[in-house]
Structure 1
């Protein structure tokens, strides 16, 4: 299993970074050299105009920081579903790549989203020979157990994500 720690640390840093604290440090005159400030013509702004420009820029920074934090959180959750519990009970919808010949303990199932899941229990599903069938993988209500079900069949099996 690959380590999820770096991704989690990045997401946590973005989530806990206060947009207000970042914005307070972002006065444009402190971010530019005096030469850059003058070359941009910002030295000709009145103090009120400069304050308005800083307020607008900081508002944009707040919005973009929030968007980036949300995108990072979603990416970490999606990439690591099945490895760790993030409180999401949303099912995973995907297709098994290639031929599916039923369930059997220890079998691995590669999905079109790049995930690989291994069957943990002894559930059997004999007979089907399907190409690229649709599957739904859902977490259990309690614990970190996941179940896979193939569309069109009532049998489900316990699976563990291995990649």
Structure 2
């Protein structure tokens, strides 16, 4: 839908530009109210003449002509800061499991069943959080073996040995 709107706006502008460009001076193109609303009455005669010259050519001031060394330096600095922030974010972001291979491990200590939001720390150091409402009534165990298998659309399923129920989980770290 957005693409259709963009095409329609571009077509309307393309149709309007030739009629707009036929008038030579900005003062003739705009009403007095539009001229004042745009703040153009503040321009000096030289600035107004330059604007009219650019409009007559059908070109707006280029970014290179408008940019000063100070502006270019600030743009370069902002780009570098953005790269650094993206790098830090990538390093500290929680990453999904690197592979889509099933994982077999144990949950050291006591296992008291499934519950939404519960985190399971595996013996291999991975931490997984349950995201669904699966439960196992009366489940208890010590150092239980677990299997994690990938599902569709980046979903992972946790199953505890001895129980036929699986819980949907996501990797925390």
**What's the TM-score once normalised by structure 1's chain length?**
0.47
**What's the TM-score once normalised by structure 2's chain length?**
0.44
Q: Which has the higher contact order (CA 8 A, sep 6+)?
A: 1
Larger CA Rg, structure 1 vs 2: 2
